[in-house]
């Protein structure tokens, strides 16, 4: 007679499950989390993925039985070794945790989907949820669950405009140029603005990465924002220490940027720690450049960065990613985005894996209270194309994604990858009725960039404020 399927879990034995004549054993919570993760190439590369579909399904059953309290007792990366573990444990709110403290991971999913978990309730328990709890429950959730719960999580941030209101979708205008050429950048900025893009931020990845160049680009964007009185903010995506130096030299810094990961060792490989972020945030706040809010940080994340830095401590890449959100929420950012398909097929192989990862990252971040956007993107060596991006854009639009990237014709000629275009944002607006941030929408109408803001229709004629600049650019031509 076959043994009854079932689990026997004690901490000393790890996690054990009998299915027919087979016994599955998982040594600890890290391994159980990794084996329960939906399949992706990065976890196979790290050697932590489930070895069969059955092992994955069994790990999910066991993970469903783990009490949420367990995550407060069993640190996945040792407390003594990792400042992010310390941040997670030390900042955990017992009071916020109280309404869900009796749940195991499987029941946590039920609760999140239930009508008891209203938007108000979800923001009340936010500080009681650790990244690992969010990651664990996401591993049991289908894509539609990730969408439905994320949609209930309302996260609003503000600097010169208000971002994240329900029914709204913002865009980062990304006018990158392979040589940081001022005219080339200005041309892409004009294109983006006239397609109604840029309310999340106008953000440049510099081709030459040093303080002098960053300062030059900051001054350029600041001049444009002032000239046209655009209710938005600018950012040069350079290292946090560069931005700090720029602030000290008097540069017009709106937002401080940094790529972040979910372990201390990942962030060391990026050349910063939590104290650097705190110092840079204080410096940016001291400039008092925000008009409607004081969220001054912009973070980027992405599954696979910890493994890439050989700093993943045996964790799966999605759990590492969720831990990065603890870093982000400590510093009250205006924007966070997961650059989901940029890292390449050794971490997320194809469109299916990229889409799943995008939805997981958005869900976990929103559950933890972050203004999460997504760089919906792919490289040319991944098995993905524009149709996959259309799918993810539509799904994230439904899920209430905070912002997406906007680039001319989807082609980033500096970073050599494809992300969402100015046109794509207008598609999402029309298909799903998603509006830009209110201050920015008023500006689009006032500037006659949109002739019909309700239908998101750009004007046919060139808006009058841009006639002279265009003449300056084209000079005696035609």
Question: Which residues participate in the annotated binding site for adenosylcob(III)alamin?
Answer: 206, 258, 308, 414
Task: Count Cβ atoms within 10 A of the Cβ of residue 442 and give its class: 0-12 exposed, 13-18 middle, 19 or more buried.
Answer: middle
Least Å distance, CB 184 to another protein, is 4
CB closer to another protein, 292 vs 413: 413
Least Å distance, CB 466 to another protein, is 8
Token couple for 391: 């799918």
CB closer to another protein, 188 vs 318: 188
The CA distance from 195 to 131, in Å, is 37
Helix (H) or strand (E) holding 46: helix 41-46
Contact yes or no for 404/396 (Cβ under 8 A): yes
What does the binding site for another protein look like in residue numbers (CB under 8 A)? 41, 44-45, 175, 177-178, 181-191, 194, 208, 210, 212-213, 215-216, 219-220, 223-224, 227-228, 344-346, 349, 379-381, 385-386, 407-411, 413, 416-418, 421, 423, 426-427, 429-430, 456-458, 460-462, 466, 468-470, 472-474, 477-478
The CA distance from 468 to 459, in Å, is 17
Least Å distance, CB 400 to another protein, is 21
Least Å distance, CB 424 to another protein, is 9
> Please, what sign has the CA dihedral across residues 242, 244, 248, 250?
positive
Q: Could you tell me whether strands 22-26 and 14-19 are parallel, antiparallel, or unpaired per DSSP bridges?
A: antiparallel
Which are the contacts of 350, defined by CB distance < 8 A and separation ≥ 6? 382, 383, 384, 388
CB closer to another protein, 5 vs 314: 314
Annotated binding residues for substrate, written as ranges, equal 172-174, 205, 300, 375
Least Å distance, CB 387 to another protein, is 11
The CA distance from 265 to 260, in Å, is 11
Least Å distance, CB 157 to another protein, is 27
Residue 193 C-alpha from the chain's centroid? 23
CB closer to another protein, 46 vs 129: 46
Least Å distance, CB 269 to another protein, is 11
CB closer to another protein, 148 vs 432: 432
The CA distance from 75 to 152, in Å, is 29
The CA distance from 292 to 156, in Å, is 12
The CA distance from 309 to 319, in Å, is 15
Least Å distance, CB 143 to another protein, is 23
Given 3-state DSSP classes, what are the helix, strand and coil percentages for the chain, each rounded to the nearest 5?
A: 45, 15, 40
Least Å distance, CB 462 to another protein, is 4
Least Å distance, CB 79 to another protein, is 29
Contact yes or no for 5/17 (Cβ under 8 A): yes
The CA distance from 305 to 269, in Å, is 10
CB closer to another protein, 263 vs 410: 410
CB closer to another protein, 4 vs 472: 472
Instruction: Give the Å distances, CA to CA, from 45 to 40, 232, 304, 387.
Output: 9, 41, 10, 26
The CA distance from 424 to 415, in Å, is 19
Annotated binding residues, written as ranges, equal 172-174, 205-206, 258, 300, 308, 375, 414
Q: Where are the alpha helices (DSSP H) in 288-350?
A: 305-308, 317-330
The candidate with the shortest Cα–Cα distance to 336, out of 235, 426, 432, is: 235
CB closer to another protein, 76 vs 392: 392
The CA distance from 441 to 447, in Å, is 10
CB closer to another protein, 45 vs 140: 45
Specify the length of the chain in residues. Answer: 478
CB closer to another protein, 207 vs 287: 207
């Amino acid at each position: 007679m076959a043994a009854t399927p079932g689990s026997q879990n004690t901490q000393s034995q790890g996690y054990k499950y009998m299915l027919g004549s087979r016994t599955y054993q998982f040594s600890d919570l890290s391994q159980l989390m990794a084996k329960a993760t939906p399949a992706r190439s990065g976890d196979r590369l790290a050697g932590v993925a489930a070895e069969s579909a059955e092992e994955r399904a069994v790990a999910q059953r066991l993970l469903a039985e783990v009490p949420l309290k367990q995550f407060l007792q069993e640190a996945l990366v040792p407390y003594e070794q990792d400042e992010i573990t310390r941040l997670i444990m030390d900042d955990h709110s017992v009071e916020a945790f109280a309404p869900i403290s009796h749940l195991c991971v499987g029941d946590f999913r039920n609760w999140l989907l239930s009508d008891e978990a209203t938007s108000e309730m979800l923001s009340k328990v936010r500080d009681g949820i650790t990244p690992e709890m969010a990651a664990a429950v996401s591993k049991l959730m289908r894509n539609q669950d990730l969408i439905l719960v994320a949609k209930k999580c309302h996260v609003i941030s503000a600097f010169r405009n208000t971002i994240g209101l329900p029914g709204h979708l913002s865009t980062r205008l990304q006018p990158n140029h392979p040589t940081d050429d001022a005219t080339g950048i200005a041309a892409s900025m004009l294109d983006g603005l006239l397609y109604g893009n840029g309310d999340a931020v106008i953000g440049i990845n510099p081709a030459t990465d040093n303080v002098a160049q960053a300062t030059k680009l900051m001054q350029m964007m600041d001049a444009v924002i002032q000239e046209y009185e655009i209710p938005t903010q600018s950012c040069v995506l350079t290292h946090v220490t560069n931005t700090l130096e720029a602030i000290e030299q008097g540069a017009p810094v709106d937002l401080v940027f940094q790529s972040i990961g979910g372990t201390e060792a990942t962030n060391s490989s990026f050349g910063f720690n939590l104290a650097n972020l705190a110092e840079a945030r204080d410096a940016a706040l001291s400039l008092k450049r925000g008009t409607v809010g004081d969220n001054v940080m912009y973070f980027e994340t992405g599954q696979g960065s910890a493994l890439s830095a050989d700093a993943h401590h045996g964790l799966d890449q999605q759990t590492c990613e969720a831990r990065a959100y603890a870093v982000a929420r400590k510093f009250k950012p205006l924007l966070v985005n997961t650059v989901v398909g940029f890292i390449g097929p050794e971490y997320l192989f194809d469109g299916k894996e990229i889409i799943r990862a995008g939805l997981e990252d958005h869900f976990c971040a929103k559950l933890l209270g972050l203004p999460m956007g997504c760089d919906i993107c792919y490289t040319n060596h991944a098995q993905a194309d524009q149709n996959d991006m259309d799918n993810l854009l539509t799904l994230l639009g439904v899920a209430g994604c905070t912002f997406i990237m906007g680039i001319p014709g989807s082609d980033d000629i500096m970073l050599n990858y494809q992300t969402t275009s100015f046109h794509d944002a207008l598609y999402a607006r029309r298909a799903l009725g998603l509006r830009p941030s209110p201050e920015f929408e008023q500006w689009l109408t006032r500037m006659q960039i949109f002739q019909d803001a309700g239908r998101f229709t750009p004007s046919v004629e060139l808006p009058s404020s841009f006639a002279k600049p265009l003449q300056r650019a084209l000079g005696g031509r035609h």
